[in-house]
Structure 1
Amino acid sequence: MTSSPNLDQMSPDQLRAFAAQLLSQVDSLGQQVDSMGKKNDRDQTIIEQLTHEITWFKRNKFAKRSEQLSPAQGSLLDDLLDTDIAAIEAELKALNPPAAPAEPRKQPRRVPLPAQFPRTVIYHEPDNTQGPCGCQLQRIGEDVSEKLDYTPGVFTVEQHVRGKWVCRECETLTQAPVPAQVIDKGIPTAGLLAHMMVAKFADHLPLYRQEKIFGRAGLAIARSTLAQWVGQTDVQLQPLVDALRETVLAQGVIHADETPVQMLAPGEKKNHRAYVWAYCTTPFSALKAVVYDFSPSRAGEHARNFLGQWNGKLVCDDFAGYKASFQQGITEIGCMAHARRKFFDLHATNKSQLAEQALHAIGGLYEIERQAREMTDEDRWRIRQEKAAPLIDALHTWMLAQRDLVPEGSAIAKALDYSLKRWGALARYIEDGAVPMDNNPV
């Protein structure tokens, strides 16, 4: 460690040189402090980000999936409101006499079994219809009770007998043609194939389980045969799928979303990720329909190929594969649920007050939607303009102001950026009463 120089023995030039040296050292140390401060801020942001991600993974693996705010987590004014409400309740309790005991709740009545189910009537009569005095008893009425029964799937066999008719004179043979079948020369009827398809795709019953069900009934039908039936049925249903696609694309507003599935390609040993795209009508449409499109990848060309020349309003998430479609005349409608989820995840991990404020603001928009759910498109547009538009503008202004205050790279900055970068698409729903505010229906 160097000793401090004796300033009294230094000449003016030496003092000036020493002062310049000190200023240089101070400037260098200041730069080091600034650099360390920035590094500390960056490290702190990374720590917060990693903490947020770890908590998010834990919550998604172990916690409940509901995105509702905890009732115990109120707004900043809840304490004052609770105090005022408690005072009012105490005053009302003092003014009002004790309430009379509530009447016991009535037991709910059993709902009658649906009338469309076939009935098997089973009569129960006394073994002896002669009274103690020896007179014959007369039937004056009856009590009827119904029990719900189930008979496991029953297989039946259709025998198609085509008579052969011949003319002895001209030696002409006449016979009725074979009825059209879904699978030519196959043994399954349309009813059995419909049951298989519903069981597989609607009830998620794999073919290997259906094979076992058939086996218990005494039918040895190999899984490979069942798979062939499914494939052949799919070919026959393609015109119906095409018609459904045209019907959905006749709508001005539709939803779109994709979900990954595992696919084992022929000749491959490992599965790889493929995608099923769903396109459906909105909750406000009189038509309730959804059509699925399978694709081996998530490339945006698959969405463009399905949509074709359609140029309506597409409700979707921020998947980049849709961007090219937006440049071809399709109007993007953002998903408010996705934007809300960013703040919910942040609030669930570290109880962020900014995230909570955003959740309450977005919750106000959803409350307006609940009020407008059963309205006509015109009335829904009117209430959105009256009530939702001011909230949308206020939320946007608040997000812009908060973004300038939060550090770059932080979790709250990313949540704000997600909404701000897509704000035009997120707020577009208030311009059309036929447009939903999120993509949840699909």
Structure 2
Amino acid sequence: MSHLQEIKVKKRTVGQKEKLIKNLPIINVNCMLHEDECHCEWCNTELKIIGKEEVRQEIEFIPAHLKVRKIMRYAYECPTCKKDGADNIVKAVTPAPVIPRSLASASSVAWLMHQKFELSVPFYRQEKEWENYGIALSRATMANWVIKASNQWLKPIFDLLHQQLLHSRAIHVDETTMQVLKEPGKKATTKSYMWLYQSSKDSPEQIALYQYKPTRAGENARKFLEGYRGFMHCDGYEGYNKVTEVTRVGCWAHLRRKFNDGIPKNAMQNKSQSEIGKDFCDQLFKVEREIAFLSPEERFIQRKEKATPILNKFWNWVEHTNALKSSILGKALQYAKNQKPYLMNYLKDGECQLSNNLAERSIRPFVVGRKVWNFSTSTKGATASGVVYSIIQIAKVNGLSPYKYLQYLFEELPTTPFKEEPELLQNLLPWSKEVQESCK
């Protein structure tokens, strides 16, 4: 006898389906009588339509397909001049290619970048998908397209955004591991790193930049942020001390995790010391939630008023709490003492944050992708990956469709003389009016 358990289905909210499909184009499927059936079965009079009703709505999936775009250039001549023996031939202007002497188009390069770097579909899987579309596009070709298009067209946008990031009042920095197989002077199994630099959530221009580097040395962050003078949010990694001329802001979320790790799994009658430490952190985060929607100026005032009493009690508790140095609690307390100047710096400006969670959320898409494609083959590929991830993340945080933005850049940049007139790149940044109108 089988034991069947009733499954409770959550009732749908009225109008939920309509909300899901409100932005999709509509195609009416008209169900009508065949011509032979349009006569009355009793008197053979022709039937007339008296109304119609909607029976149901369905979502139709239309698979992607490929077409070959032949760029045909027309030539013109002046017949009058020709009669006089002078040839005057004019040829039409053609769009510049994304990658010369290749089959690559703006849409195809944007699509494979969207697939790999936004949806985490590795090239070997895309290879099979392209084959189903009707073309044998190898993973090596796809990798070359990404590297060339990134270097030629996306890197200038990346460099301009880099310069604008250095004028931010506050930034967030993080790094994570990656593997590069063919890295000069290193074994294939050696760790390399992807660094992330992001503007604060209060910045009018949202920027998130990824940069591949072969090591975790703090010198990498120092070089990237050379000339920066604002607030730098980061974790407790000592390498960040290499970045001078900044006000380093510590991450309370990291400290909270350290206290959380020390809480006993079995329930206790009284709160453990680790739980008390975590509770202090939770109180600070509660304050941040209450003031999150205020302006930086108002947030600065409210934060000092509400958080200072909690902080005073917390540091007093830290100084008077004893624990073995080797214990989880002992390590958490020592971390708090070592990081105290940085942890307190978030009080100095309303644009500062209590944690570095913003950077951790932004670096997560790279971590998810890394689990799927595992490694980069070359340093050129790793560098290009950082640039493409940057453009995709910047599109997302500025409310754009990453695929549409990539395609837009590959259509516009080859015909834009930005090397001679660098100011033209400003019109292609994600917050420009034309980009916002074209790439939603």
Shared fold (TM-score, shorter chain, > 0.5)? yes
Among 157, 162, 171, the alignment partner of 1:254 is 171
Q: Are 1:345 and 2:232 matched, yes or no?
A: no
Match of 2:300 among 373, 378, 381: 381
> Tell me, what secondary structure is at the counterpart of 1:237?
helix
Give the deviation of 1:283 after TM superposition: 2.6
Give me the whole-angstrom Cα distance separating, in 2, the residues matched to 1:150 and 1:164.
42
Q: CA RMSD in A?
A: 2.3
Letter in 2 for 1:248: L
Check if 1:282 corresponds to 2:196.
no
* CA deviation after TM superposition for structure 1 residue 142, in Å: 2.3
Residue of 122, 141, 147 corresponding to 1:206: 122
Letter in 1 for 2:339: R
Instruction: Provide the rounded CA distance (Å) in 1 between the counterparts of 2:93 and 2:201.
Output: 46
Following TM superposition, by how much is the alpha carbon of 1:150 offset from its aligned partner in structure 2, in angstroms?
1.2
Q: Establish whether residue 150 from structure 1 lines up as the match of residue 61 from structure 2.
A: yes
State the partner residue of 1:161. Answer: 72
| Deviation readout 1:196-249 (Å, 9 max, x if unpaired) | 111111111111111111111220122211111111011121001112212322
1:364 to 243, 268, 283: 283
Residue matched to 2:24: 117
1:312 aligns with 2:233: no
Residues 225-282 of structure 1: per-residue CA shift (max 9 Å, x gap): 1111111011121001112212322210010000100111267772321111111122
Q: Residue 190 of structure 2 aligns to which amino acid in structure 1?
A: H
1:184 maps onto 2:118 in alignment: no
Distance 1:269 1:423, change over 3 A: closer
SS at match of 1:212: helix
Q: Which residue of 2 aligns with 1:400?
A: 319
Higher relative contact order (CA 8 A, sep 6+): 2
Question: Could you tell me the TM-score, scaled by structure 1's length?
Answer: 0.71
In terms of mean alpha carbon deviation, does 279-288 or 296-305 score higher?
279-288
Counterpart secondary structure, 1:111? helix
Q: Which has the larger radius of gyration?
A: 1
1:176 maps to a residue whose letter is A
Call closer, same or farther: CA 1:115–1:349 in 2, change over 3 Å.
closer
Answer yes or no: is the 8 Å Cα contact 2:66–2:134 preserved in 1: no
Q: Does the aligned pair in 2 maintain the 1:200–1:207 contact within 8 Å?
A: yes
**Distance between the aligned counterparts of 2:299 and 2:11, measured in 1?**
39
Distance 1:348 1:438, change over 3 A: farther
Q: Which amino acid aligns with 1:258?
A: E
**Cα distance in 2, alignment partners of residues 230 and 203 from structure 1:** 15
Deviations 1:51-95 (A, max 9, x none): xxxxxxxxxxxxxxxxxxxxxxxxxxxxxxxxxxxxxxxxxxxxx
TM-score (norm 2): 0.71
For residues 269 and 368 of structure 1, what CA distance do their matches in structure 2 show?
A: 48
**Percent identical residues:** 29
Q: Are the structure 2 counterparts of residues 257 and 348 from structure 1 closer, same or farther at C-alpha, using a change threshold of 3 Å? A: farther
Asked if 1:225 is matched to 2:136, the reply is no
Residues 1:241 and 2:147 aligned together: no
Give, in whole Å, the separation in 1 of the partners of 2:273 and 2:227: 43
Aligned length: 335
Q: CA deviation at 1:289?
A: 2.4
Which residue of structure 2 lines up, in the alignment, with residue 141 of structure 1? 51
Partner residue, 1:421: 338
Q: Structure 1: which amino acid aligns with 2:91?
A: Q
Contact 2:247–2:345 under 8 Å retained in 1: no
CA distance in 2, matches of 1:362, 1:426: 11
Cα distance in 1 for residues equivalent to 2:11 and 2:140 = 57
Deviation at 1:178, TM superposition (A): 3.6
The residue type equivalent to 1:214 in the other structure is: W
- Compared CA separation, residues 359 and 269, structure 1 to 2 (3 A): closer
Partner Cα distance (2:326, 2:65) in 1: 63
Distance in structure 1 (CA, Å) of the matches to 2:289 and 2:25: 40
